[in-house]
Chain A
Amino acid sequence: MNPLIPLFVITPLAATFLIMIIGRFIKEFNKYFTSLTLLILVIISFYCLFKTGGNVSVYKVGGWEPINRIPIGIYMVMDGFSTIIVCIINSIGFLSAFYSISYIKRYTAENYFYALFCLMIAGMNGVVLSGDLFNIFVFLEISVISAYSLVAFGVEKNELEASFKYQVLGSIASFLILFGIGFIYWKTRTLNIADIKEAFSSGYDKSYYLFVQILMLSGFGLKAAIIPFHAWLPDAHSSAPSPISAMLSGVLIKAVGIYVIIRLFFNMFIISEEMAILITTLGTISMLIGGILMIGQWDVKRLFAYSSICQIGYVVLSVGIGMILISRGLKHDVAVLSIAGGLFHLINHAAFKSLLFLNAGAIEYRTGTRDLKEIGGLARYMPVTSSTSFIASMSISGIPPFNGFFSKLIIIIAAIMAKFYLLAALTVIVSIITLASFLKFQRYAFYDKQEYPKEPKPKEVPFPMVFSMIVLSIVCLLLSLLVFPGFRDAVLTPAIDILMDPLKYSSQIIGL
Chain B
Amino acid sequence: MITYILCFMLFLVGLYGAVTRRNLVKIAISLSIMEFSTFLFFALLGYIDGGVAPIVNPAEPNKIYVDPLPQALVLTAIVIGLATTALMMAIIIRLYRKYGTFDIREIKNLRG
Partners in one complex: yes
Interface of A toward B, CB cutoff 8 Å: 134, 137-138, 141, 145, 148-149, 152, 155-158, 160-165, 167-168, 171-172, 174-175, 178-179, 182, 185-186, 189, 191, 234-235, 238-239, 296-297, 302
B94, closest chain A residue (CB): A160
Asked if A145 meets B27 with Cβ closer than 8 Å, knowing A167-B88, A175-B11, A185-B70, the reply is no
Q: Is the beta-carbon distance between A179 and B107 smaller than 8 angstroms?
A: no
In the complex, what's the smallest C-beta–C-beta distance from B64 to chain A, in angstroms?
16
Among the listed B18, B24, B110, which residue makes an inter-chain contact with A239, where contact means beta carbons less than 8 Å apart? Answer: B110
**A164 CA to B24 CA in the complex, in Å?**
9
A302, closest chain B residue (CB): B112
**A238 CA to B45 CA in the complex, in Å?**
41
Asked if A145 meets B87 with Cβ closer than 8 Å, knowing A171-B35, A175-B35, A175-B38, the reply is yes
Between A and B, 5 residue pairs with Cβ closer than 8 Å are A148-B87, A155-B94, A160-B94, A161-B108, A179-B41
Would you call the interface of chain B mostly helix, strand, loop, or mixed?
helix
Question: B35: which A residues are within 8 A, CB to CB?
Answer: 171, 175
Q: Is the beta-carbon distance between A138 and B45 smaller than 8 angstroms?
A: no
B96, closest chain A residue (CB): A160
Question: B110: which A residues are within 8 A, CB to CB?
Answer: 158, 161-162, 165, 234-235, 238-239
Question: B91: which A residues are within 8 A, CB to CB?
Answer: 148, 152, 160, 163-164, 167
Question: A186: which B residues are within 8 A, CB to CB?
Answer: 45
Question: B84: which A residues are within 8 A, CB to CB?
Answer: 141, 145, 167, 171, 174
Question: A238: which B residues are within 8 A, CB to CB?
Answer: 110
**A158 CA to B110 CA in the complex, in Å?**
7
Among the listed B15, B34, B95, which residue makes an inter-chain contact with A164, where contact means beta carbons less than 8 Å apart? Answer: B95
The 3 A-B residue pairs whose C-beta atoms are closest, nearest first, are A141-B80, A235-B110, A178-B38
Q: Is the beta-carbon distance between A172 and B38 smaller than 8 angstroms?
A: no
Q: Is the beta-carbon distance between A161 and B34 smaller than 8 angstroms?
A: no
In the complex, what's the smallest C-beta–C-beta distance from B54 to chain A, in angstroms?
14
Interface residues on B, range: 20 to 34
Question: A167: which B residues are within 8 A, CB to CB?
Answer: 84, 87-88, 91
**A445 CA to B78 CA in the complex, in Å?**
48
Asked if A172 meets B70 with Cβ closer than 8 Å, knowing A160-B95, A297-B112, the reply is no
Question: A235: which B residues are within 8 A, CB to CB?
Answer: 110
A144, closest chain B residue (CB): B84
In the complex, what's the smallest C-beta–C-beta distance from B58 to chain A, in angstroms?
18
Question: A156: which B residues are within 8 A, CB to CB?
Answer: 98
B41, closest chain A residue (CB): A182
In the complex, what's the smallest C-beta–C-beta distance from B43 to chain A, in angstroms?
10
Question: A157: which B residues are within 8 A, CB to CB?
Answer: 98-99, 109
Q: Is the beta-carbon distance between B109 and A171 smaller than 8 angstroms?
A: no
Instruction: Write the B29-72 contact mask toward A (1 if CB under 8 angstroms, else 0).
Output: 00100110010011001000000000000000000000101100
